[in-house]
Every structure is written in C-alpha cells, then in structure tokens.
Amino acid sequence: MRIDIITVLPELLKSPFEASILKRSIEKGLVEIHFHNLRDYTDTKYRQVDDYQFGGGAGMVLMIEPIDKCISKLKKERTYDEVIYMTPDGTTLNQKMANSISLQKNIIILCGHYKGVDQRVRDAFITKEISIGDYVLSGGELGAAVLCDTIIRLIPGVLNDETSALTDTFQDGMLAPPVYTRPADYKNMKVPDILLSGNFGKIEQWREEKAHERTEKLRPDLLK
Ligand code: ADE
C-alpha cells in the first residue's frame, strides 16, 4: 500500500512512522509513506498556503491552488483509490472503515489546518471525509497518524502474529476479552483457572463469554 500525505506540518507526522509496527511495515516493504509539504506547491514569495475567508470571519483557510497542484501531480503518476480529507465534520472513523481502507492500493490523505480547506477542494478532489472523533484538533495531522496506524496494522504481514489483528477489540463487533500474563498469582491476585487448564475449547468458550459480558457492560450499543 502507498500512502501520500499532504500537510503543512510534515514534521508533526514523521515520528509515528519511525517506531514499532509502522516502522517495521515500511522496512518490510509492505507500506510506502510519502509526505508532501503543501508549501512546496506554491509560487508565492512567502510560500503562502492559506488566506482569509470570503465574507469575513476568524480563521485562515487553506487555498485551493497548492492543493490542486499537489493532488494533480500525484494523480498523473498513478491512480488513487481514495483521496481522504481529515476533518472534524467527516464520518467518524471505526474499525469497519479501517478494514475497507486497508484493502486499497494507493491513497492520498489531506490534512486540514486552521479553519479547514476551501470548500471547492472538498467538492472537486475528496472521495472520503474522515473524523477521528467529536473534538477539534489543531490540524488533521494527528488524525492522519491515527488513521494510518489503524489501517496499516491490518495489512497482511504487518503484524507478526497474523491472527492478532483478527482478535482485536471491535474486529467482530465486540470488545476483546481480558488478557493475562505471568505471574499466575501476583500478591494473591489470581489469573482465572480456566486459562491455565490447557483446555483450548473451554478457553475459547470462556473468552467469547467474557467478550460478550464486557461488551454488554461497557458498550451495549455495539450489540444492537
Ligand atoms: N482535524 C481537526 N479535528 C479533527 C478530527 N477530530 N478528526 C480528524 N481531523 C481533524
């Protein structure tokens, strides 16, 4: 998968891709990440990418021209499956969306900033608008990092244990069951006996029950 990220703050986005699973996915050649600084697509003296909004009002708006130049250049080089815009008024990201995006080959992610982008960018270029939750970030960069993390870990070969992503919370519409590791008894806080029994049929059944219990208690909306 190839991900092209368009941003005014590439430095804010680099570190998540320089550690752990995301780093490894790039090293294994399973994912390519390309950052595009919007300021490289403007001819103006001060590399201006934003301007005041027509009609008045507080806050700057990202201009259409540099975004058009960047997206058009990329589209000349290859076909893109999605051009995603990170914005608090987009569709809220969930596991189902992550699963579907992780199947794509080439995607562009545009990070909003300030008051957002000129509406004509959204009308002309964007195929999907995504929010990571009902709160406002200073820009789309952290949202883009969250989106990338959630999709990249689903790409086959990225996680060492192939089944690990499949048993994640939300993956089957339920929260994951509780997990334990050594020691089996810590200051008299004991691991459930069933997990030490070696009876994998029973363990699987117990996990399903616990996943259901936990979902019912913490996220009953998921069971509807
Ligand atoms: N940009 C600002 N707030 C955002 C949010 N909640 N999700 C995605 N992008 C954003």
Domains of the chain: 2-152 (3.40.1280.10), 167-223 (1.10.1270.20)
In short, whether 88's Cβ falls inside 6 Å of ligand 1 is: yes
DSSP annotation of 41: G
Q: Which of 136, 138, 148, 149 most suits a substitution to test ligand 1, by most atoms within 8 Å of the C-beta?
A: 136
pLDDT band at 162; cut points 50, 70, 90: low
Cα of 100 vs centre of ligand 1, distance in Å, is 20
Please state the φ and ψ torsions of residue 13, each to the nearest 5 degrees: -105, -15
Judged against a pLDDT cut of 70, whether residue 183 lies above it is answered with: yes
Ligand 1 closest atom vs CA 132 = 7
Q: Calculate the alpha carbon distances from 43 to 64, 96, 155 in Å.
A: 13, 40, 38
Alpha-carbon dihedral 100, 104, 108, 113, rounded to 10 degrees = 20
Judged against a pLDDT cut of 70, whether residue 151 lies above it is answered with: yes
Pairing of strands 2-7, 32-37: parallel
Give Cβ neighbours of residue 23 (< 8 Å, ≥ 6 apart): 17
pLDDT digits over 30-58, tens only?
Answer: 999 999 999 999 988 889 999 999 999 99
In short, whether 137's Cβ falls inside 6 Å of ligand 1 is: yes
**Distance of alpha carbon 215 from alpha carbon 121, whole angstroms:** 40
In short, whether 116's Cβ falls inside 6 Å of ligand 1 is: no
Give Cβ neighbours of residue 54 (< 8 Å, ≥ 6 apart): none
pLDDT score, position 190: 98
pLDDT digits over 191-218, tens only?
Answer: 999 999 999 999 999 999 999 999 999 9
Question: CB burial class (10 A; 0-12, 13-18, 19+) of residue 200?
Answer: exposed
